[in-house]
Structure 1
Amino acid sequence: MTFPPTSVATHTDDFARFITASPSSYHAAAEVARRLDSAGFSRVDEAEKWSGEAGRRYVVRDGAVIAWVQPAGAGPTTPFRILGAHTDSPGFKLKPKPTIGAHGWLQAGVEVYGGPLLNSWLDRELELAGRLTTIDGSEHLVRTGPFCRIPQLAIHLDRDANTGLTLDRQRHLTPVFGVGEAGQADLVGHLAGLAGLRGEEVAGYDILTADTAAPARFGLDDALFAAGRMDNLSSVHAGLVALLAAPEPSDQILVFAAFDHEELGSQTRSGASAPLLDDILTRIGAGLGASVSERLRAYAGSWCLSADAGHSVHPNYPEKHDPANRPVAGGGPLLKINATQRYATDAGGAALWAGVCAQAGVEYQEFVSNNNVPCGSTIGPLTATRLGIRTVDVGIPLLSMHSARELCHVNDPFALSAAIAAFFAPVR
């Protein structure tokens, strides 16, 4: 099969550009939309009537994007091939009345978003990024570039820091962004100015932190790749590249679904627990004249790949991993399995994944948790439960997941995208 980009190097470079363009879920959605536009997709409005004609279309809702390719021969029972991922990552979110400070320092009031590895966010130059909304409801993306920092207490003032660091979420994780008194600065006004607005025009905002260090290849043979937000921009990028490289389908409808708020549990209007995907699939079916029974028949023939990052075995903490299943960086993407269905993979899903990886010429690895270490979850079980569509959980292996800066092998994102491309290929 032909799979652009043509090498690991070009894929990695493009992945780095995608991460850099996506400091927030809203920026990630905008970057996905930009690339879809360039590839000839048409954006449709959820409030408008949709055409049932064949074509390439997409919807943006907040920080979520769903795109699809409907072939000319699609009918009421044509199945879907869905790639599911999420655009958000752990970090910190700006509170109301965010300009605070003490003892001569200006600080930004933030609250914890998701489950970040807190100590990894210390002593890094962070930016603020997200969206501002004016009173008329219009949205404006904004990012500051390097702007603030969460300073750690010096070792001279905390002699036990190297033996038992404890961070109070309210007291110890407030970034500094300048000096002076809180009444002398206006953080929202500063953000508004960057967006070409006046501070008083801003009626609401969703602003988060992002590490500003550039993605980097390093190590022996430049085989390692470090960047922020690879959980889960790695899957968003891999799925998007695969969709844009896919040949025109004839026997299935290709769907790319990147949801927001997975790190919070997905229970929002743009999360995987929302009716967003179901609504869009229903509207596609309605455009094809599908009855309820025919739509359910289409679902019965459909598959969803839930792509989210997983764990590589950690060389310094091998006891945290299952003794028999130890996926390594560079060994290929993961097939994620859990007996309690925290991942949605079953035997049928394992067979599907084995088949698409073989078609792509990609090796893969199985991941299962150590019984003493609680297993995380993904959008996979949510999608399977909501739609009844067969679902399998996959992703690349990472070290330092939920750190401000995560680590992978350069081969694995490329291999994941190649496997997704095979998943999107015409069924033989």
Structure 2
Amino acid sequence: MEAIDAHEVQAAQDMLRFIEGCPSMFHTTAAIAARLEAVGFTELPEGASWEVEPGGSYYVTRNGSSIIAFRVGARALAVRDRFHFQLAASHGDSPTFKIKSAGELAGPAEYRRLNVEAYGGMMDYTWFDRPLGIAGRALVEEDGAVMSHLVHLDRDIAIIPSVAIHLNRDVNGGFAPNRAGDLCPLVSAGVLGEGSLDALVAHAVGAEPEQVLASDLFLVNRQQARVWGAADEFVSSPRIDDLMCAYTSLEGFLTAANSACVTVYCCFDNEEVGSNTKQGAMSTFLPDVLVRLMAALDMDEGEYRRALSRSMLVSCDNAHALHPNSPSLHDAQNSCVLNGGPVIKEAANQHYCSDAFSRAVFVALCRRADVPFQTFANRSDMAGGSTLGNLSNMQASMHAVDMGCPQLAMHSSYETAGTRDVDLTIRAMQAFFGTDIRIDGAHGFELVSA
């Protein structure tokens, strides 16, 4: 393998800065919106009428935690029977612990802890003995109205302490922590009293505690993200799943030009808990946006249905890299490695949306862009996970391929991926967004320079 170069390290560091600025799904949506506005995108509120023009760039948010952006190619309407969408979809949420509405636990003794519950399928043991912050949103009453504010207690607020081995001598033989008792973060040994959490949140948004009517708050692992290794081969950070794909697909979307179709970028909330929320991939958010943008372009429902048949989705969610200490857990032929390029994921049970047609499109794009790619399938005697591509396709059906970056320790509070894969995946997504993919049903396709 060639040495990691300075450009690849810089691309990885840029991604890590993005991840550090996204401690919750609400911050992720705000960060993406700010990036879009900085390059000239116009917000389209869901509650307003829309004006959309060829050559325009727009974005829509829902719940402050999901975002869809789109660019209408200047020539997208020139040949209406070729009108189509090219979309990428990732997710902005990650497994963590959510603080309950009554978020404080008093005792034992003078201790004060946080009352939390699991959000998503995290590996619980990875949350012990880590510096923790708090992030999310708060709904604040002010001047007769109630407004949503981002909350980020960006300092070491809490920790979940392990029990000493002297008091639990069997711990190395296996430990299954009880989420109701063993995983309550410690925030005070006696100095803080009742209502301290509410006071901290209120202070963070410049309000009094009684003004904060409700909140969605999550624990944040505050370990520093980093490029590391003797040869700078690795990146490690909280929330690599799926902010690595959210970032690389956004970079591809923004840096590729395509005047021939409508290119779409999606970052959904709630993938880690099933996607079946009003802002998740299985909601009406995506079809609502696509139908409304077509109506704004004076195109009808029939044209929308025809456009979907010619459209292509890349579902962007990370893949399990071959584990150096547990290679037997992986399929012998369909495993992927760090720094080997983006991964096409397939499953016979259709938990991934890839099939031969969509795989062929992505392979052809990677070859045109000279980007190496890999394949992933679970061992045939092991159940695999799922992602958002097949769920979003229940609402807006089109050809779709599941793709992700290879990583280790998925759903740990601190995950690891390959430095080179950041740049390689950006290049793959540039090829996807920068090519006019002309699809003829399931018969075939043509890749045309856009």
TM-score, normalising length: structure 1: 0.96
Query: Which residue does the alignment assign to 1:216?
Result: 226
Counterpart CA distance in 1 for 2:198 and 2:329 is 43
Query: Which residue does the alignment assign to 1:58?
Result: 59
Counterpart CA distance in 2 for 1:156 and 1:13 is 41
Contact kept, 8 Å, 2:92 with 2:242, in 1: the verdict is yes
Query: Which residue does the alignment assign to 1:274?
Result: 283
Counterpart CA distance in 1 for 2:40 and 2:120 is 35
Query: Which residue does the alignment assign to 2:172?
Result: 162
Contact kept, 8 Å, 1:123 with 1:149, in 2: the verdict is yes
What residue identity is the alignment partner of 2:360? A
Matched, 1:97 2:102: yes
Deviation of 1:372 (Å): 2.2
Counterpart CA distance in 2 for 1:272 and 1:123 is 34
Query: Which residue does the alignment assign to 1:82?
Result: 87
Query: Which residue does the alignment assign to 2:445?
Result: none
Query: Which residue does the alignment assign to 1:19?
Result: 19
Counterpart CA distance in 2 for 1:96 and 1:385 is 33
Deviation of 1:83 (Å): 0.4
What residue identity is the alignment partner of 2:70? W
Counterpart CA distance in 2 for 1:336 and 1:253 is 25
Instruction: Decide which of 319, 334, 349 is 1:340's aligned counterpart.
Output: 349
User: Which residues of 2 match residues 117-196 of structure 1 at below 5 A?
Assistant: 117-135=123-141, 136-145=145-154, 146-180=156-190, 183-196=193-206
Counterpart CA distance in 2 for 1:267 and 1:134 is 27
Query: Which residue does the alignment assign to 1:297?
Result: 306
Matched, 1:261 2:270: yes
Query: Which residue does the alignment assign to 1:251?
Result: 260
Matched, 1:108 2:114: yes
Counterpart CA distance in 1 for 2:146 and 2:344 is 42
TM-score, normalising length: structure 2: 0.92
Gaps in structure 1 of 5+ consecutive residues: 1-5
Matched, 1:406 2:407: no
Query: Which residue does the alignment assign to 2:33?
Result: 33
What residue identity is the alignment partner of 2:28? A
Query: Which residue does the alignment assign to 2:444?
Result: none
Deviation of 1:181 (Å): 7.6
Counterpart CA distance in 2 for 1:287 and 1:101 is 55
Deviation of 1:197 (Å): 1.2
RMSD of equivalent CA atoms = 1.5
Deviations 1:65-97 (A, max 9, x none): 100001223235510000000000000001011
Contact kept, 8 Å, 1:100 with 1:182, in 2: the verdict is no
Counterpart CA distance in 2 for 1:309 and 1:282 is 29
Distance 1:42 1:156, change over 3 A: same
Query: Which residue does the alignment assign to 2:73?
Result: 71
Counterpart CA distance in 2 for 1:172 and 1:86 is 29
What residue identity is the alignment partner of 1:414? D
> Which range is displaced more, 51-60 or 167-176?
51-60
Contact kept, 8 Å, 1:337 with 1:345, in 2: the verdict is yes
Deviation of 1:360 (Å): 2.0
Deviation of 1:104 (Å): 1.7
Deviation of 1:167 (Å): 0.3
Deviation of 1:331 (Å): 1.0
Percent of pairs with identical residues: 34
Contact kept, 8 Å, 2:283 with 2:395, in 1: the verdict is no
Counterpart CA distance in 2 for 1:318 and 1:111 is 32
What's the secondary structure of 1:239's corresponding residue? helix
Deviations 1:307-361 (A, max 9, x none): 0011001121112111222211111111000001000000011101101111221
What residue identity is the alignment partner of 2:272? E
What's the secondary structure of 1:270's corresponding residue? coil
Query: Which residue does the alignment assign to 2:45?
Result: 45
User: Which residues of 2 match residues 368-387 of structure 1 at below 5 A?
Assistant: 368-387=377-396
Counterpart CA distance in 1 for 2:98 and 2:17 is 23
Gaps in structure 2 of 5+ consecutive residues: 1-5, 437-447
Counterpart CA distance in 1 for 2:39 and 2:223 is 29
